[in-house]
Amino acid sequence: MIRVPTGGATPASIVDTLKAMAGASPKARARFAKGRCVRGTYIPSDRAEEITKSRSFTGASRVVARFAVDGNSRMPDTDNPVLRGFSFRLGDVDHRSDILTQSAPVHYARTLAQMLAYLKVRVPTPDGRPDPDKFEAFSTANPETLHQASYMAAHPLPASFADTTYWAVHSFPATNGRDETQFIKFKIVPVGNRAAPTEDVAETKPGAFLHDDLQSRIAARDIRFSLMAVLGRPGDPILDVTTRWPDEDQRETVRLGTIVITAIEANEVCDALAFDPAALAEGIGYPPDEIFAARRAAYATSLAQRR
């Protein structure tokens, strides 16, 4: 049985192992290397102030965002299921918030040590594949690390970034103008009809079809998402990002605003600004889980290596 190590797990070791898994160069992104930078606007709803006093969410602003596919830059979009990412920046220089979301509502590890062990059993051997015995032993000993993959297997992704629902897997403390604080989860919901699942069209699509589709959609019209706050309750598992809140899909939600993507942006813009999970304007606090704390440090490490 493979047990989760108690030492040796650091944000730097996580970044190094991610790059070893993907066969990526030191200057590549550790995750979601294949992406497309876009820009647009954010329009707050009249209910945003009920949830947070953060001016990133209560005021209109420009948006810089990035759609991406997890893995290395050579991975074809037809690989399914592959996690998708949507990172975006709201607000201005004094009230900036960067939110990182993905196409599954849970993470694959609860702690930093478990995350490192999860990644290590997936590092390819010389024949190009992970060791199946190590993989099976680890999964048996750590069943919660399969929750993300199980969700993705049960929920085929649509054949478009624009029709995908995204989640920030962490529980964020949100404080409104009355100094009332509650935990929320961010959920990004596409406005409009969904495309067919990827598995129905992948055989007939080129390897970059997600990026081609995004470019053609934006050329024809804007793309809209509702930025939702899923409201927490006392007793929710705010420290375990491998587990969803009870009845999460039936929870009360508040639409904080609408993200409108209007144009393709040069990828160098997103590379230069680097979405930072630590950038949260007053009114949205840091999630208390261990993975978020590690992510803040890991993104800084990865950015330093890329530069």
Q: What tens digit of pLDDT does each residue of 200-233 get? A: 555 556 557 899 999 999 999 999 999 999 999 9
Please tell me the pTM assigned to this model.
Answer: 0.89
Q: Summarize pLDDT for 96-111 with one digit per residue, the tens.
A: 999 999 999 999 999 9
| Mean pLDDT, residues 68-75 taken together | 73
In the chain, how many domains are there? Answer: 1
CB 98 within 8 A of CB 88: yes
- What CATH number is given to the structural domain containing 213? 2.40.180.10
| Mean pLDDT, residues 109-121 taken together | 92
CB 241 within 8 A of CB 106: yes
3 part of a folded domain: no
Beta-strand runs (E) in the chain: 34-44, 61-69, 84-90, 97-102, 166-167, 172-175, 181-190, 223-231, 253-264
- Which residues, other chains included, contact 103 with Cβ-Cβ below 8 Å and sequence gap of 6+? 83, 84, 85, 152, 157, 164, 165, 166, 167
4 part of a folded domain: no
277 part of a folded domain: yes
Q: pLDDT higher for 204 or 66?
A: 66
5 part of a folded domain: no
6 part of a folded domain: no
Check residue 128 and give its pLDDT. 77
Q: Would the pLDDT of 167 be above 60?
A: yes
Q: Containing domain of residue 16, as a range?
A: 11-306
42 part of a folded domain: yes
170 part of a folded domain: yes
Confidence band for 33, pLDDT divided at 50, 70 and 90 = confident
| Mean pLDDT, residues 61-81 taken together | 78
Q: Would the pLDDT of 129 be above 90?
A: no
1 part of a folded domain: no
